[in-house]
Structure 1
């Protein structure tokens, strides 16, 4: 039975594809959907920290002019966050499906001193 909802239409890419975009310096907002503990341990420079439960309330903080790439530790929470952003009206969403350790391996993450 159909739920009456439209299927999500955002793009899904892996971390390597996302790395090329980040390194190209094209305008983009990177949303980190991990929890506070994970964020403090290290994150992508310039990323916006928006833990999944906060996304519906904070979606308005994200600029709509540029694409929004959403990532987490493994890709699962990023998919949920991407769906929530889409429900909030954002249209240029990229779901980054991959492990955060891949960002680190590609030297795209920074560790934050505690």
Structure 2
């Protein structure tokens, strides 16, 4: 018998109360705007298989908090800039949870794409395949 008291869908629903979930149309409007950085949190194998959004910064979900915290030995300078971060994963679940984590860390300008990379692809957003 499972001891789980909260499932992933409840966690995502709660995250969406904290993180600005945007539509793919809103994401397309934000794409390449000054001060906006798309962040791909998918696994590298997903990027290799499905392609990437050109200009998106790849930050694997498992390293996100470590790369954002300026006190971490793994901190990445991009997350120390005053940018609006638009997170996405394959379908919008991991990015909601990731967004919640970084909002709780103190970043306030965080959004995530409802439907993730799949919605981006269906909307004919720019995609770059691995060479």
- Cα RMSD after superposing both structures: 1.9
| Structure 1 unaligned regions, length at least 5 | 1-6
CA distance in 1, matches of 2:85, 2:61: 15
Answer yes or no: is 1:36 the counterpart of 2:54. no
Segments ≥4 residues shifted beyond 3 Å: none
State the TM-score, normalized to the length of structure 1.
0.81
Deviations 1:78-106 (A, max 9, x none): 01111121122211000111141332232
| Structure 2 unaligned regions, length at least 5 | 1-14, 70-75
8 A Cα contact 1:43 1:111, kept in partner: yes
Bigger mean CA deviation after superposition, 84-93 or 71-80: 84-93
Answer yes or no: is 1:26 the counterpart of 2:34. yes
What residue is the counterpart of 2:11 in the other structure? Answer: none
Report the CA distance between 1:46 and its aligned residue. Answer: 1.2
Give the paired residue count.
106
What residue is the counterpart of 1:4 in the other structure? Answer: none
Answer yes or no: is 1:15 the counterpart of 2:15. no
